[in-house]
Structure 1
Amino acid sequence: MTGATLRYSGGCQCGAVRYEAEGEPINAGHCYCADCRRASGSGFIPFMGFASDKVRFSGETRQFSSPSFRGGDAVRNRCAACGSLVFGGMVGVDSSHTIYAGSLDDPGAFSPTIAIFTRDRPDWAMLPTNLQAFQTLPD
């Protein structure tokens, strides 16, 4: 398929929130920060980053903001109906968005390359050896 554009689709558990992203992600990996662990109820969140002009969203979300590592707010979006964690960022405001890989229609499309905030990783959360690890964020 020469010249074919990669497309990723996904959404919440009940289907009320949907997204489609196109092209290669800016980054893809595991985040072990305390905020991601608490938001997911797990040891990390698998994520994919996309420029805002490469992703489209539909459906009603509920937002939660928390202080981000670089200042400002980290905004997470959950489905207003079922509560599933779907994506990060403010639509129409932020220049990029984070898609949570667990919300992909095809989870096999996720191919992580980095691990961030490994300084916060609990001992019981496995760190795959094939990921480039960063104590906080890459430069």
Structure 2
Amino acid sequence: MGENRARHTGGCLCGAVRYEAEGDPLFAGYCYCADCRKASGSGFIPFIGFASTAVRFSGETRQFRSKSFRGGEAVRNFCPVCGGLVFGGEVGKDESHTIYAGSLDDPSSFHPKMAIFTRDRPAWALLPPDFTAFDTMPE
């Protein structure tokens, strides 16, 4: 990874799972879908997307798979020690990975601009007024 590019690091609560991503994210926002709400125990999951070539992971993860909106599988990776949700996607298979922004070492590097699955947003989960909102997944 180059020295002059932005670097994003983070990991789970106990530190057993870590990642390093280089460059600017492809996208960043909030997901209000029912699966993300249940996985996070919150009203939404803040996420950042990176190309798989821009991110490296270390440590062993466990995976939870569920049916995705487009019919494939959604893969969520979490730490088997502390249970911390860290990233989405299958390493070595997917072209991009979704990092869960709550796992960032420096949360100030998260700059969300969009909201997805707003049709599923509970009334008590606020939607920032300057976000681009999508009822489901954008094309």
Q: When the two structures are superposed, what TM-score results if normalisation uses the length of structure 1? A: 0.97
CA distance in 1, matches of 2:9, 2:130: 25
Q: How does 1:40-59 map to 2 (within 5 A)?
A: 40-59=40-59
SS of the aligned residue for 1:39 comes to helix
Q: Report the equivalent of 1:11.
A: 11
The alignment's C-alpha RMSD in Å is 0.9
Matched, 1:92 2:74: no
CA distance in 2, matches of 1:86, 1:45: 11
CA distance in 1, matches of 2:4, 2:135: 36
SS of the aligned residue for 2:13 comes to coil
Structure 2 segments unaligned to the other structure (5+ residues): none
Q: Report the equivalent of 1:77.
A: 77
User: Runs in 1 of length 4+ with deviation above 6 angstroms?
Assistant: none
CA distance in 2, matches of 1:99, 1:54: 12
Q: Report the equivalent of 1:22.
A: 22
The alpha carbon displacement at 1:35 in A equals 0.5
SS of the aligned residue for 2:127 comes to coil
SS of the aligned residue for 2:119 comes to helix
Q: How does 1:87-126 map to 2 (within 5 A)?
A: 87-126=87-126
> How many aligned residue pairs are there?
137
The alpha carbon displacement at 1:4 in A equals 2.4
Percent of aligned positions with the same letter in both sequences? 72
CA distance in 1, matches of 2:95, 2:4: 24
